[in-house]
Structure 1
Amino acid sequence: MDVLPPGTILQLMYLRERISGLKPGKFVEIGAGAGHISHLLLSLGWRGKAYDLSPTTAETLRNRFAGQIANGSYDVVVGDWLTAPTEPCDLVISCMVMEHFDDEGQRAFILHGRNCLTTDGAMITIVPGSPAHWGIEDEIAGHYRRYSRETATSVFDQEGMNMVHISGLTYPVSNMLFPLSNFIVKRNESKKLSLSMIDRTKQSGIRGVPMKTTFPKALGLLLNERVMFPLHIVQKAFGNSDKAMVLYCETKRSQI
């Protein structure tokens, strides 16, 4: 099993708590990356589909979930979800995706998600928070923005989606690691700044950056849910902090 970054572990721990309160159904994940969220959902009894722009990422997902694809509980599509036919589902979920769109694309993303949801369906969107922490990682990943609680709530509200739950995640762990993270990313990935925004987006799903996205197996003794549980309690205690560098947004269709 791969050793995950501390921020990723904390996000998945929070997501598990929220998802556990929902009845399993059909999901679609946009920009599934290495498949950690898809794995969580499938383990909780959901069935679904993942979209990704990168054929390489899609192939990685197909290898990881070969069994689930074979039994029909999961599928992987290479392509732009925004141009895909509307498919009714109970959960539309994405992690570090919406910030890759310009304003028009962001609007289309939310509207397409809204149109896909069943009556009681939810759209869970995890995005970078705290605009004050804009850094080189945003640049190399092809981000257009970071979100405050107010801007996140507003962009969903404008497209007919009601924010039913919002919380900052990974505080203060990500904040403490921010200077080191910027140094590692700058040293390893600065060359990506010459790429177009779409190419940066395609390469952002799975990144092999030592001590940033990949870690020695030995560090698994520290980087695991059991050891990090106290930090999970801390991130929940500071969920209202404007300094949190990740925002969890759970929305449903507004009742009009």
Structure 2
Amino acid sequence: MTRTADVWKERPRPKIDRQYGPLLEGRWVPAPRFVLRRDRVLAAAADLPLGMVMEIGCGSGALLREFAQRGHQCLGVETSTHARALAGEMLDAFPTARVVASLADEPSAEADLLISCEVLEHIEDDRDALAQWVANLRPGGRLILSVPAHTRMWGITDVWAGHVRRYSRTDLLRLAREVGLLVERIECYGFPLSNLTALLANRSLKGKGLAGGGNSQAQATAASGVDRSVHIRHFSLQTSLPGRFIMKMACLLQRAFLSTDWGDGFVMIARRP
């Protein structure tokens, strides 16, 4: 992606926060739940040899950039025009990373690691979608999939984001079996901080409509990964010394509860035989 000097003046390069990773100041910042999920995704991929990393629904491209920084070839798939623009900025410095609108644009792409975070819950036919993604995963390749957990936790934030459902462990195991995946483990992440922030978000979003001011589930889905209007206002608290300490402790504390069902999100790690 080429840009003129004037555009660079208007759009500063991504900033790398020592604790939270890449961000675009004033436009996209990592929300607390993103930070907690990132902790688990990076841990699940810590031993990954260099290869092709594909992220379905890459949003701002922040997570994918971290894999590009490690030396992986990276492919982001993102249907939202706005999100693709942000991801293009995030990945601009990495010639081996690119973002496309559809898997159909890269029919021969074969991933060593396929990541999808908070995407499947937006799709009516989740089994068919997951089967299509797995088809782009090489035999022996790894899948890291995150979704919101527990139907009992359905709330205003789910409607705001354009979700169709939440998942149980049983749901994920069934889906994995139906598309031929071998599940290594399922972690329930976020407890206790994400449970608290979910309650606060449900209150703050009451009466606020859909993500990005959308008028439909599809528009809310397109905006939900990059609408950080609330989090940008409070990000200075997250980057204060107390905020950094709380987030660091929350990332550590959640690890003690991954085998429980106490958190508000699941991360599934699986392989294609």
TM-score, structure 1 normalization: 0.87
Is 1:95 equivalent to 2:117 in the alignment?
Answer: yes
Please tell me whether the aligned partners of residues 74 and 96 of structure 2 are also in contact (alpha carbons under 8 angstroms).
yes
2:98 equivalent in structure 1: 75
Deviation at 1:192, TM superposition (A): 6.8
2:264 equivalent in structure 1: 245
Deviation at 1:191, TM superposition (A): 7.8
Please tell me whether the aligned partners of residues 211 and 223 of structure 2 are also in contact (alpha carbons under 8 angstroms).
no
Q: Cα gap change, 1:205/1:219 in structure 2, threshold over 3 Å: closer, same or farther? A: closer
Secondary structure, counterpart of 2:185 in structure 1: strand
Deviation at 1:217, TM superposition (A): 3.0
2:32 equivalent in structure 1: 6
Q: Cα gap change, 1:182/1:21 in structure 2, threshold over 3 Å: closer, same or farther? A: same
Is 1:42 equivalent to 2:68 in the alignment?
Answer: yes
CA distance in 1, matches of 2:100, 2:214: 28
Deviation at 1:223, TM superposition (A): 4.1
CA distance in 1, matches of 2:87, 2:211: 26
CA distance in 2, matches of 1:165, 1:214: 36
* Stretch moving more, 58-67 or 227-236: 227-236
Please tell me whether the aligned partners of residues 130 and 244 of structure 1 are also in contact (alpha carbons under 8 angstroms).
no
1:143 equivalent in structure 2: 163
CA distance in 1, matches of 2:253, 2:106: 39
Percent sequence identity is 24
CA distance in 1, matches of 2:41, 2:86: 23
Deviation at 1:81, TM superposition (A): 2.9
Deviation at 1:190, TM superposition (A): 4.7
What amino acid is aligned across from residue 92 of structure 1 in structure 2? Answer: L
Deviation at 1:8, TM superposition (A): 1.3
What amino acid is aligned across from residue 120 of structure 2 in structure 1? Answer: M
List alignment gaps of at least 5 residues for structure 2. 1-14, 16-22, 24-28
Deviation at 1:39, TM superposition (A): 1.8
Please tell me whether the aligned partners of residues 20 and 44 of structure 1 are also in contact (alpha carbons under 8 angstroms).
no
CA distance in 2, matches of 1:95, 1:191: 17
List alignment gaps of at least 5 residues for structure 1. none
1:163 equivalent in structure 2: 183
1:183 equivalent in structure 2: 203
Q: Cα gap change, 1:63/1:30 in structure 2, threshold over 3 Å: closer, same or farther? A: same
What amino acid is aligned across from residue 250 of structure 2 in structure 1? Answer: L
Secondary structure, counterpart of 1:195 in structure 2: coil
Q: Cα gap change, 1:51/1:191 in structure 2, threshold over 3 Å: closer, same or farther? A: closer
TM-score, structure 2 normalization: 0.82
Please tell me whether the aligned partners of residues 169 and 236 of structure 1 are also in contact (alpha carbons under 8 angstroms).
yes
Deviation at 1:243, TM superposition (A): 2.7
- For residue 114 of structure 1, the aligned residue among 113, 131, 134 is 134
Secondary structure, counterpart of 2:206 in structure 1: helix
What amino acid is aligned across from residue 99 of structure 1 in structure 2? Answer: E
Deviation at 1:4, TM superposition (A): 2.5
CA distance in 1, matches of 2:92, 2:81: 16
What amino acid is aligned across from residue 163 of structure 1 in structure 2? Answer: V
CA distance in 2, matches of 1:191, 1:16: 27
Secondary structure, counterpart of 2:230 in structure 1: coil
What amino acid is aligned across from residue 164 of structure 1 in structure 2? Answer: E
Alignment of 1:223-234 (within 5 A): 223-224=243-244, 228-234=247-253
**What whole-Å deviation, never above 9, does each CA across 1:118-156 have from its counterpart, x for those lacking one?**
122111111111221101111121111111111111111
1:53 equivalent in structure 2: 79
Segments ≥4 residues shifted beyond 6 Å: 191-194
Deviation at 1:84, TM superposition (A): 5.2
